Structure 1
Amino acid sequence: MTENTFPVHNTETLVSFYRTDVLSGQEAKHFNKSDLNPVPKPEAVQTLYMRVLHLLTGFRPECHSMVPLLENIQYPAYHEGATYILSVYTRMRQFLPMCLVYDFSLNDLLAPKKQRTLTILSAIMNFLHFRKQRMELVLEKQAKLRSDMDRLQAYTRSNQEAEKKIEMLTTIPPEQQAEADELAAALSHLQTSTMQEYQEVNSTNETIAEWKARIAEETQKLAQLKVDAGNLKEDISKLKSQIVESPEELKSQMEKMKESVKSIKSSIKDTDERLVELQNMVHGVTHSEAEIQQMFSLLQDLESSMSHSKQQQEEEQELMAQYEKKQKELKHLCAEESQLKRAQTMKMDKECKQNIRKQKKKEMKEQHVQEVLGHCNQIHQKREEMAARIQEISGEKQQLKAKISSLREVCSKETEKAQVQPQTA
C-alpha cells in the first residue's frame, strides 16, 4: 500500500462522507472525528465496514453474528464473537481487492491503526464514488435505450401506417375497378380519336391555306383586270374624243369589248362560285374548330385528371421516400440496439465470470472456514479431554492428599506411641 492509485483523504473529509453517504440515523449522529483520530476505535471501524458491506451486497449487520447450526458445534453462544469478526474479515477480504487493497488483515479489525485505516476508508470512498458514477452512466444509457425503443416503436407504427396508405393509394377498390377500366378504355379511345382529329384538322388547315392563297391570287388578278378595264375605258374615251372611227371598226371594237366583258363576267362568276365554296369550307372549318374546342376542353379535363394522378403519384413517391428514410432510421436504431445488446451481453458475461470467480473464492473461503471450524472443534474436543484428564488427575491428587494425610496421622500416632514406650520403660 505504499504506492496508491487513489488519493488518501484526511479525517474530516472521510467523516463527512461516511456520515452522509454510508451511515444513517443514530449511527451517523454519533460518528465523529474522535472515532478515527488519534487512534481508531475498533467498534466504529467494524460498524463502518459492516455498513459498507450492507450498502454494496445487501448483507445485514446482524447476519454477521449468526452461527451456522452444525451438529459438531457445542455451545454456539461461545462462538458468536469470533463468528462476527471472521465474517466481517472474510467479506472484507473479498471486497477490498476491488478497491485496490490486497493486504487486509485481522489487525485492521481488532487493533486498527490510524494511517492504515484512513487509507482503507479512502479506497472504499474512491470505489463508492466510482460506483455512483457508473450507476449514473448506466441509468442514462438505460433511459436512452428506453427512449430509443419508444422511438423505434413510433417509427414502426408510422411505417406500418405509411405502408397502409401506400397500399390504399396503389390498390383500386373492387367496386371501382370496372369504372377505372372503363375510364382507361375511354381515355385510350379518346386519345386515338383526338390524334385522328388533329390529323384531319391539320389537313383541313393545309387545304384552307391553299384555297386562301388561290383566292388571294384570283382577287389580285381581278383587281388587275379591273384596273386594266378602267384604263381601257379611259383610253377609249380619249380615243373617241380624238378620232372619229368608222362604224365597222367601232363594231369590231365593241364586239371585242363585249367579249372581254363576258370573259370578265365569267371570271367574276367563277370567282364568286369559288368564294361560295370557300365560304362553305370556312363554315365547315369553324364547325370543326368548335368540335376541336370541345375536344380541347375534354383534353383539358383529361389533363387535370392526369395532373391529379401525377400529384397522387408524387405523394406516393414522397411517402415511399419517407418510408425508405424510416427504414434507414429503423436499421440504424436496430444496429444501435444490437450494439447495446452486445455490450449488455458482454457486461453480463463479465459479471457472470466475476460472480463465478466470487462464488469460487467464497466456496474456497467457506471451505477454509469449515476446515478452521473443524480444527477448532477438534481442539475443543481435545480441550474437553484434557479437562477430563485434569479432573481425573485432580481427583487422584485429592485421593493422594487424603492418603498422605491419613499416613501422616498414622505416622504421628506411631511416633507418639514410640515416644510413650520409652517413658514407661
Structure 2
Amino acid sequence: MGENTFPVYNADAIVNFYRTEVLTGNEAKHFTKSDLAPVPKPEAVQTLYMRVLHLLYRFRPECHSMVPLMENIQFPEYHEGATTIMSVYMRMRQFLPVCMVYDFSLSDLLAPNKSKTLTILSAIMNFLYFRKQRMTVILEKQARFRADMDRLQSYNRANMEAEKKIEILMTIPPEQQAEVDELAAALTELQTTTRHELQEVETINESIGEWKTKIADKTQKLAQIKLDISSLKEEVGKLKSQIVESPEELKSQMEKMRENVKDIKNSVKETDECVVELQNMVQSMTNTEAEIQHILGLLQDLESSMNNTKQRQEEHQELIIQHEKKQKELKSLCNEEVQLKRAQAMKLDKKSKLKFRSQKKREMKEQHFQDVLGQCNQIHQQRARVDYRIQEISRETQNLNVTIQSLKDVCSKETEQAQALYDAVCASMDNFHRGIELQSIDLKKDIMNMSANF
C-alpha cells in the first residue's frame, strides 16, 4: 500500500463523493465524516461496500444475507450474520484487484483501519471516476456509431436506388431494340471502314515516303545534270571557239540535244504530276498533324490537371498531418480539461446527483416507452393476424355464396321440372277421374235400363 497508482483523498472529499455518487436516500443523509474518522465504523464501511457492489454489479444488499438451503445445515439463523460478511468479503476480494488493491483482508470489514479504509475508498473512487469517463466516451462512440450506421443505411439505399436506375438504363426496351441493333451494326461498319481507311492512310504514308525519296534522288540527279549541262555548255563554247565543226555533226549533236531536252521535259512533267500528288498528300498530312496537335493539346491539359491533382493531394496530406497535430493538441487539452473537471467535481456533486436521478428517470421512461412499443407491436401483429383471418373468412364466404347461388340455380331448375311433372300428373289424373265419372254414369244408366226391363 505504500506505492499507490492513484491519489489518496481526504475524508471530506470521500464523504462528499460517496454521498452524491453511491449512496441514496436516508443513507446519504446519515453518512458523515464521523463514520470514517477518527475510527471507521464497520457498519458504515460494510454498507458502503454493499452499495458499491450494487452500483457496479447490480448485486442487491439483501442478497448478501441469503443462506444457501442445504439439508445438513442445522439452525440456519445462526449463519445469517456470518454469511453477509463473508459474501461482502468474497465479492470485494474479486473486485478490488481491478482498483489496484491486492491486500484486502477480513479485518478491513470487521475492524477497519482509518488509513487503509481511506486508501481502499480512494481506489474505488478513482475507479468510479475512470468508469464514468469511459462511459461518456463509450456513449459518444455509440452515438457516432449509430450516426454512421444511419449514414451507411442511407448510402446503401442510395446505392440500391442507383443500381436499380442503372439496371433500368442498361435494360433496352423492346421498342428500341431494333434501333439499338441498327446502331450496333452501323458502329461495326464504321469501325471496319475506319480500319480500312487507316490501313489505306498507312499505305499512302509509305508511298509518300517512297515518293519523297524518289523525288530527292531525282532532284539530286537534275541538279547533277544541270551542272553537267552547264559544264558541257562551257566546254562546247570553248570548243566552238577553237574548232570549226562540220554541219552534219552539228545537226546530229543538235538532234541528240533536242532528244535529251524532250526526255528532260517529260521527266519534268512526271515530276510535276508527282509533286501535285505529293502536295495533296501533304495537305492531308497537315490536317492529320493539326488533329494530332489538338490531341497533344488535350494531353497537355490532362497533364496540367494531373499536376494540379498531385498538388492538391500533397496539400491534402499536409492538411491531414496538421489535423493529426491538432488532434494531439486536442487530446492534451482534453487531458487538462479532465484534470480541471476533477478539481471542479467537488463543487458540481449536487448537480451531478440531480443529473443522475434525471437520467434514471429518463431510462425508466424509455424502458416504459419500449414496453409500450412492444405491446403496440404485439397488438399490430395480432391485428394483422385478425385481418388475415377476416380476409380468409371473407374469401370462404364468397366461395360459399357462389356455391349457394349455383345450388339455388340447380334447385330452381329441378323445382321447375318437378312442377311441370306435377302439372302433367294432375292433368292426367283429372282426365282419369273424368273417364271414371263418365263410366260410372254410363253404368248407372245401364243399371236403370236393366232395372226398367226387369
Which structure would you say has the larger Rg?
1
* TM-score calculated relative to the size of structure 1: 0.46
* TM-score calculated relative to the size of structure 2: 0.44
